[in-house]
Amino acid sequence: MKRNCKDCEIEMKEAFINPGLGMFVLQHDFKSKLFDKLSKINTLVCPNCGYIEFKAEKPELFK
């Protein structure tokens, strides 16, 4: 997943949010069963200005 910073136009780097307990996930519905319809969140950071961008790995879950 390559993407350039919208401000600096240089390549953003993959980053990992550390929530302390494991990876950050996006859930389809608050009432969904645990581990049902979860998408990993891909995170990119601009090494120049620090701009951070999130993208759901499985956007189709949210249709």
Binding site for Zn ion (CB under 5 A): 5, 7-8, 46, 48-49, 51
Nearer to Zn ion among residue 11 and residue 57 (C-beta): 11
DSSP-derived 3-state class of residue 55 = strand
Question: Least distance in Å: CB of 58 to Zn ion?
Answer: 27
Question: Least distance in Å: CB of 12 to Zn ion?
Answer: 7
Question: Least distance in Å: CB of 25 to Zn ion?
Answer: 26
Q: Report CA-CA distances (Å) from 47 to 3, 5, 8, 36, 58.
A: 12, 9, 10, 34, 25
Helical H segments across 1-63, by residue range:
none
